Structure 1
Amino acid sequence: MALAAAILTSLGFTAVASAQEAPVNHDVQRNVDQQERIENGVKDGQLTTRETSQLEQGQAHVDRMEQHDLKNGPLTQKEQAQIQHAENVQSKDIYRDTHNNRGQNPDSKSSRRMASDVQRDVNQEKRVDQGVRSGSLNDAQTAKLQGREAHIDHEERVAGANGHVSRGEQKQIQRSENHTSRAIHHQKKLGA
């Protein structure tokens, strides 16, 4: 009887922990999905560099919200609702920009640079998502990493605001991405 009670108690705590972690998992996976949609739009020529940079600013906004809300622990229902609203707005913006009959040659140097940067965003968001799902990243660590992702998204916004990403701008973004990549590795190692 005591064993059964201990198992039920343990399962109850596991269910509570899973319920608290589920919104973070969903939000990080949605970041991956939206970055992939942006990446596909750049690669297909449906998005201009300027549109992509504006969408990256939207991603930065969502990442900053997650950073702010997660640094204090699990998301509240109100925080989750606010993040979902921002993600929905971002999703509509991605759809609008990929279906507005504007575009850009996906083989131009600027498009290839932007596509490369967005692809790296996808990869890093996937690594964060994997860390959250495996339990090797807690809320505070995820918050720090989302702040770093927001910084990179903002750099991409600035770089592409004039419709062109130069080689120098891309190098600066790559330095930030390399720094963030090391931070993801470090944070996951701490949590393991």
Structure 2
Amino acid sequence: MKQVMWGAALLSVCATSLVFAQAETPRIDQRQANQEKRIDQGIASGQLNEREATRLNNQQEHVNKLEDKAKSDGVVTKKERARINHAQDRTSRHIARQKHDRQQR
């Protein structure tokens, strides 16, 4: 009887840890940090003006909200991950374009 109870307890702990493991998004988090760093570097170097930086930061915030929404149920599905990656790709392109658009600062 004790073995059955311990087995059930172990199974529930493992199942719970799998759910939490799926909600973690280290690659997405690292990419967000890198993109925020690129924006900060663009501001510091003068490649981005205040308006461009504000727009890019708003796009980053949108991606953060997508990630938070995906994590809210404890599991980030492939579809949610793809949507977040697409938003990050779009934001990354915008950062690159704005940093190299030859506007006067």
Q: TM-score, normalised by structure 2?
A: 0.78
Q: Could you say which residue in structure 1 is the equivalent of 2:22?
A: 20
Give 1:30's aligned amino acid: R
Offset of 1:47 from its aligned partner? 0.3
Change (3 A) 1:100 1:33: same
- Aligned partners of 1:74 and 1:36: how far apart in 2? 27
Q: Could you say which residue in structure 2 is the equivalent of 1:52?
A: 53
Aligned pairs for 1:36-51 within 5 A = 36-51=37-52
Q: Residues 133-168 of structure 1: CA distance to partner in whole angstroms, max 9, x if unpaired? A: xxxxxxxxxxxxxxxxxxxxxxxxxxxxxxxxxxxx
- Aligned partners of 1:95 and 1:57: how far apart in 2? 16
Give 2:60's aligned amino acid: Q
Q: Does 1:78 align with 2:79?
A: yes
Q: Residues 74-107 of structure 1: CA distance to partner in whole angstroms, max 9, x if unpaired? A: 2000000000000000000000000001142xxx
Q: How many residues align?
A: 94
Do 1:45 and 1:103's aligned partners in 2 also have CA atoms closer than 8 Å?
no
Unpaired runs of 5+ residues, structure 1, are: 1-12, 105-192
Aligned pairs for 1:156-175 within 5 A = none
Q: Could you say which residue in structure 1 is the equivalent of 2:94?
A: 93
Look up the SS of the partner of 2:103 in the other structure. Answer: coil
The percentage of aligned residue pairs carrying the same residue is 34
Q: Could you say which residue in structure 1 is the equivalent of 2:67?
A: 66
Q: Could you say which residue in structure 1 is the equivalent of 2:8?
A: none
Look up the SS of the partner of 1:69 in the other structure. Answer: helix
Look up the SS of the partner of 1:47 in the other structure. Answer: coil
Q: TM-score, normalised by structure 1?
A: 0.44
Q: Could you say which residue in structure 2 is the equivalent of 1:160?
A: none
CA RMSD of aligned residues (A): 2.4
Do 2:59 and 2:91's aligned partners in 1 also have CA atoms closer than 8 Å?
yes
Do 1:65 and 1:83's aligned partners in 2 also have CA atoms closer than 8 Å?
yes
- Aligned partners of 2:80 and 2:61: how far apart in 1? 17
Offset of 1:20 from its aligned partner? 2.2
- Aligned partners of 1:50 and 1:39: how far apart in 2? 13
